[in-house]
Amino acid sequence: MTAITVAGSINLDFVATGPALPAPGETVTGATLARHPGGKGANQALAAQRLGGNVCLIGRVGRDALAEEALALLLEADVDVGAVAADDMLSTGVALIAVDPQGENQIVVAAGANHAVRPEHLPQRIETPLIVQLELPIETVEAAVGRAVGFVCANLAPAAPVSEMLLRRADLIVVNETEAAFYGDALHHGGGRVVVTKGAKGAALYQRGVEQAWATPPQVTAVDATGAGDCFVGAITVALLEGMAPDEALRFACAAGALAATRAGAQTSMPSRDDVDQILRSGT
């Protein structure tokens, strides 16, 4: 198993699945409510663990009733949460998610304890491959990248200004089309790989701005896209660290992300390695 460190957010998701997503000022009724563990960091940690990694998560929760629920699936999957601290002042992060019948979503996040993860809470050296996202304070994310001595995957989501150091240091940058438009050509200033995901259309991998590989996901019936992008990030990191060629790694990650979209919730939707291998063998 490949050792991986994830520095990232931990949330509890409140998911309302209804007949439509609300327009500004609109109230949509007839929804059902579910609670799922989430947060981009926790989602990616669980995805990487289920797909073959041996993952340590660095993060922060509140000292409250939500924390146990937010960490439950990570503990069940044997993710190492020894570096997850409890904050005495701030609550566990919460995401409010609306989902329509096609699986599209809208998300509002109350970061809570996630915004109290500071550079001083990080190891001085991060010896294993590292995954980061942008739901922790940017200075903490950049400190983690600066202390990593090996492979770094930076999922630049949600889009926010980052330093040139981070863009150049990352061995792998993963963004969706909206995030890619936000960063523009700056994504390709370093020598690392850049993956742009395009939902059901697939994903492309670039190096120095030149497309190196393209893959499309298998045909599935989408139920909830929440967490599918995070599953992709965990999957492609594991695949590349295992030595898969770029096109093979993209196919693997697209299949994992597609499977995540067939199930409700973020962490509850993360597939196993056997699930992904099976759908790839079936060619569907």
Q: Which residues of 17-47 are buried (b: 16+ CB within 10 A; e: fewer)?
A: bbeeeeeeeeeeeeeeeeebbbbbbbbbbbb
The pLDDT value recorded for residue 284 is 59
Strand 193-197: give its sheet, edge to edge.
80-87, 53-62, 2-7, 130-132, 152-155, 172-176, 193-197, 203-207, 210-215
Q: Of 257, 223, 219, 264, which is closest to residue 237 (Cα–Cα)? A: 257
- Residues in the chain with pLDDT < 50? none
Mean pLDDT of the chain: 94
Ordered by where they begin, the domains of the chain are 2-8+41-85+115-282 (3.40.1190.20)
> Which positions are catalytic?
230
What is the pTM for the complete model shown?
0.93
Q: Classify residue 83 by its DSSP letter.
A: E
The pLDDT > 90 percentage for the chain reads 84
Q: Which residue has the tokens 């998300």?
A: 107
The pLDDT value recorded for residue 23 is 93
The pLDDT value recorded for residue 103 is 77
